Each structure stands twice: as C-alpha cells, then as structure tokens.
C-alpha cells in the first residue's frame, strides 16, 4: 500500500512505467523515491539560491575531529591527520603504490597474485559473474589451493570471499553456484560469506522480486588482497570489469598492516553475514543474530560492535606505529633503508580507509566527505568522479555554496551501465541526465559555471564505473 501511494504521487511518466509492470512494489517504491527527489529539487531551485553562501553553516552538523599537534611529524602529514581520529592511518612509501589503468591489467594482476599467494587470498565484491573469465579466476583459486596441499611443506593458505546475498543469488547460475566446487573440495580452506541487508525482511522480502530486491541494500566493499599485497578498487568480479568497463584500481605492494586491516574488516562483515555451505544452503555464524529473521535492532548492534572493534584495534596499532616511526630512532631515508635491508623507509603516502555502513550507524565516509567539502575554500580544487550522478542534497548544497573550484567527471548516457537495457532499467541513464541537467541549471543560474565544471566520459564500446574524490590546495608562492 505504501509503495502504491509513493508511485501515485509521482509524475505521469512514472505512473505510465509502473502500469507496464504490475505487481512490482519494490520498483514502485524506487521510482517513487526518485520522483520525489526530482520534485524536491525543482522546488529548492526556486527558493534556496539566496542561502547557498551559507551552505557550509546550514549543512548537517559534522563532528569536530581534531588531533593534538605533533611537532615531530613532517609538516605535510598534518593536513589530513584529523582523519586518524576516526579510522586507522597507514603510512606507506610511494614506491609501493601503483595505479592501474585498464580492466585487462586489473584482471591479469589478480590472476598473477592468486597464483603466487601462500598465506591468504581475501576478495570482497558485490558479486562474481558467471562467464568464462570469471571461471578462469575460480580455476586460478582452485589450482593455487591444490598446489598448497601438494607442496612438500603444505601451506596454511586460506581463501575468504565476501559477496552480497541478493546479487550473488540472482538467477539459476550465479555467484554461489560458481563457488560451490571450491567449498566442496576445500571445505577447511575456503569461506564464502553472503551479506544480507537487515532492511530486507518479512513481507517486504517475500513481495519484492529478484533484482529489484537489490535496491533495498547491498554489500559494496571492493577489495582484493593476496598475502600482503592489496588492490583497492570499485570493480566487481565480472567480465565487463575485466574487459571494457573503466574503473579505478590502486595496487599496494608489501603493505602488511593494510592487508591485515582489510582481512580483519572482511572477516568482521563475514561474521555478520550468511555462510554458504557445500550444498548451497546458508547458515548463520554460531552465536550471531540472523540478519533478516532475528531482531533487527539486536543484529545491527552486534554488527556495529563487530566492525567498530576492528576499526578501533587497528587505530590503536597504527598510533603505536606512528609514534615509533616519527618519535623513535627508526626513521630512515629510502637510500638508507635500502642499504639497511630490514628497516622501512620514511612513509610519504597516507591511506585512510573510510567505512560507510549506515544500517549499522557507521557513517565515517559521510563525515569525512562532508568535512572535506565544507573546508574546501577559495584556492582549493576538488575533483569528483562518478558513474552515476546522484549527489545527496547536503553534498549538492556544499558544492554550490563553497568557493572551491570543482571538476566533476560523469558517465555520458552511452557509457552508463544501464544504457540499452530492457524495460524500465533502460530509462535509468535518462534519469541521471535529468538530475545532471537540473544541477547544472542551478550552477548556471548562480553564475558559477566557471567554478563548477561538468565533463562526461565517453569511449566507444566501453562503460564507466569510476568513483572518487581528490582535494588539492594551491597557495601563491612567496616572492
């Protein structure tokens, strides 16, 4: 009933679309929410412009996070050091960081890393596809596991895979069926966890059909690690992400602290997820509240504690390491470290893993992003990229109300992953274009088109999925 009311309140276009798909309450709610969002945007456009310069003051309160000054640290470290009050801070040498440029490079690197892994392989993604390239990846895992058992000195190699339950269960052949052979053959070495959102439960879970149930909530961590090497990406484990779907990929080599953190994080989310069994059934970890059959509040509290315990313990470890690095006698230049062999060079690159799990009341990414946008004043340049332009209202107000320069890279309709899809999904690119035009209309009405620039990514035969933010400040050089 609520879904039908939401749909009825939408524009005529949505009502016509819904008329073509009766009995789809989840879709009705989704389109209704999008319709309401567009309507609210039109209303705001008429009345909010005089207030935009006050946006940083009127935006949702951002907790003040400050660190005591550390006079012994290099000055360049201080700009973002407040973030270490929220998440662990990892200092690495830039020579250990490699940015990949193509899906093929990403795919080949993953296969190569799996083949040489000795201790652990941890993979977190929305889903694993079902095509020949995905099977090739599974075959690499199987071969490496087999070698670990046949070696003269068998290794304790463990494989942990975290996927989303609804996306990973879609269709007869799906992520689960792709991984069952590994579970059946190596039950002591392989773990497959399927995260199920606590918001999809009861009558809602029974009524919303497959695929549309994914709009309620998903597991969206994308991290792939092999022993002490880590790939941070937005790419899923699917053929298009290995061939012609552009994403971002950062390869961190020999970074044990970062690898340990992400292993613990995936383990924590895995513990509050459903465990895939060799017969394709799922079970809850012993002692854990069921995500959709148990009490929702109790489940979310338990999940919050499990994840936050990982964050807090990693923060404590990194604070000790920070003190040893900058306040002890172990700091070496790269040249001296190379000569010493067993001591690490001074870090010149800082990594802060931001976590966002709103059902569990973990909103660290939101806090940090709003803080960065709020503090971006004249002289700063902010680069945003997204495959789906749908900024929250708070972010939109901050972009329009601050004085920093913004360069925003979007997917053109033709490289949107839904372009050419059948049914209502095929209208999604046009919906994003509509939101983009509304936003740019506000930019122009405020005369800010020189400060806020939008560009669209287009490449024949490709799609675009990259997301990210970079903030830089340029100060005038002293004469």
Q: What is the pLDDT of residues 88-124, one digit of tens each?
A: 999 999 999 999 999 999 999 999 999 999 999 999 9
Any idea of the CA torsion for 197, 202, 207, 208, to the nearest 10 degrees? -10
Structure tokens at 224: 């792939």
Predicted TM-score of the model (pTM): 0.82
Q: In this predicted structure, what is the pLDDT of residue 338? A: 52
Q: Which of 26-40, 129-143, 352-366 has the lowest mean pLDDT?
A: 26-40
Catalytic residue among 118, 147, 220, 467: 220
- Using DSSP's 3-state secondary structure scheme, residue 70 falls into coil
pLDDT of res. 346: 80
Q: Among the options 158, 222, 322, 465, which is catalytic?
A: 222
**Cα separation, 134 vs 136, whole angstroms:** 5
Q: Does 467 qualify as catalytic in the annotation?
A: no
d(CA 446, CA 400): 9
Strand 249-252 to strand 229-233: parallel, antiparallel, or no bridges (unpaired)? antiparallel
Question: Please, what is the Cα angle at 105 between 99 and 110, to 5 degrees?
Answer: 95
Q: What is the distance of C-alpha 269 from the center of its chain?
A: 14
The pLDDT value recorded for residue 78 is 54
Q: 418-433, pLDDT tens digit by residue?
A: 888 888 888 889 999 9
Distances (CA, A) of 430 to 6, 162, 355, 388, 439: 21, 32, 30, 11, 14
Residue 10 has pLDDT above 60, yes or no: no
- Indicate if the pLDDT at residue 44 is higher than 80: no
Question: How far separated are the first and last CA of the chain, in Å rounded?
Answer: 69
Among 191-195, 370-374, 375-379, 423-427, name the most confident range.
191-195
pLDDT band at 327 (very low <50, low <70, confident <90, very high): low
Eight-state DSSP code of residue 237: B
45 has pLDDT over 80: no
Report d(CA 286, CA 295) in Å as an integer: 16
Average pLDDT (225-236) is: 98
Residue 465 bears catalytic tag: no
> Quick one: DSSP state of residue 191?
E
- Would you put residue 39 in left (φ > 0), alpha (ψ -120 to 50) or beta? alpha
| Residues 380-407, mean pLDDT to the nearest whole number | 91
Which of 139, 227, 267, 271 is catalytic? The answer is 227
The number of C-alpha atoms within 13 Å of 80 and in the hemisphere containing its C-beta is 19
List beta partners, residue 230. 225, 252
Q: Is 115 a catalytic residue?
A: no
Sign of the dihedral defined by the CA atoms of residues 222, 182, 196, 296, in that order: negative
- Go through the domains of the chain in sequence order and give each one's CATH number: 88-326 (3.30.870.10), 376-473 (3.30.870.10)
**Number of Cβ within a 10 Å radius of residue 303:** 25
> Is pLDDT above 70 for 246?
yes
């Amino acid at each position: 009933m609520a879904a039908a009311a939401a749909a009825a309140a939408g524009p005529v276009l949505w009502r016509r679309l819904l008329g073509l798909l009766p009995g789809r309450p989840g879709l009705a709610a989704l389109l209704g929410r999008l319709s309401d969002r567009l309507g609210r945007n039109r209303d705001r456009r008429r009345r909010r412009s005089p207030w935009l310069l006050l946006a940083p003051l009127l935006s949702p309160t951002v907790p003040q996070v400050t660190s005591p000054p550390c006079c012994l640290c290099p000055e360049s470290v201080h700009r973002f050091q407040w973030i270490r009050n929220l998440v662990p801070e990892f200092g690495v040498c830039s020579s250990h960081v490699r940015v990949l440029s193509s899906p093929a490079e990403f795919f080949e690197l993953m296969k190569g890393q799996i083949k040489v892994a000795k201790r652990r392989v941890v993979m977190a993604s929305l889903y694993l596809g079902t095509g020949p390239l995905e099977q090739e990846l599974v075959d690499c895992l199987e071969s490496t596991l087999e070698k670990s058992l046949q070696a003269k000195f068998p290794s304790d190699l463990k494989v942990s895979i975290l996927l989303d339950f609804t996306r990973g269960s879609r269709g007869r052949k799906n992520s689960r069926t792709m991984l069952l052979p590994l579970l059946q053959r190596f039950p002591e070495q392989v773990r497959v966890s399927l995260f199920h959102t606590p918001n999809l439960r009861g009558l809602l879970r029974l009524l919303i059909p497959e695929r549309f149930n994914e709009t309620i909530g998903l597991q969206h961590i994308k991290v792939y690690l092999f022993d002490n090497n880590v790939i941070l990406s937005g790419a899923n484990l699917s053929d298009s992400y290995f061939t012609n779907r552009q994403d971002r990929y950062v390869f961190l080599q020999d970074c044990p602290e970062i690898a340990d953190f992400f292993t613990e994080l995936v383990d924590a989310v895995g513990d509050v997820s459903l465990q895939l069994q060799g017969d394709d059934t799922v079970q809850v970890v012993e002692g854990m509240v069921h995500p959709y059959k148990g009490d929702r509040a109790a489940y979310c509290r338990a999940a919050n504690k499990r994840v936050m315990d990982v964050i807090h313990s990693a923060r404590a470890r990194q604070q000790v390491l920070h003190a040893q690095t900058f306040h002890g006698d172990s700091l070496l230049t790269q040249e001296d470290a190379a000569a010493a062999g067993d001591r690490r060079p001074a870090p010149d690159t800082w990594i802060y893993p931001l976590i966002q799990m709103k059902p569990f009341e973990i909103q660290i990414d939101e806090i940090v992003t709003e803080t960065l946008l709020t503090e971006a004043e004249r002289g700063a340049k902010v680069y945003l990229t997204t495959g789906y332009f749908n900024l929250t209202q708070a972010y939109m107000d901050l972009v329009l109300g601050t004085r920093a320069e913004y360069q925003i890279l979007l997917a053109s309709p033709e490289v949107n992953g839904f372009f050419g899809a059948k049914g209502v999904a095929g209208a999604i690119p046009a919906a994003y274009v509509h939101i983009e035009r509304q936003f740019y209309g506000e930019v122009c009405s405020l005369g800010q088109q020189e400060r806020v620039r939008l560009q669209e990514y287009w490449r024949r035969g490709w799609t675009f999925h990259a997301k990210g933010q970079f903030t830089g400040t340029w100060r005038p050089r002293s004469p």
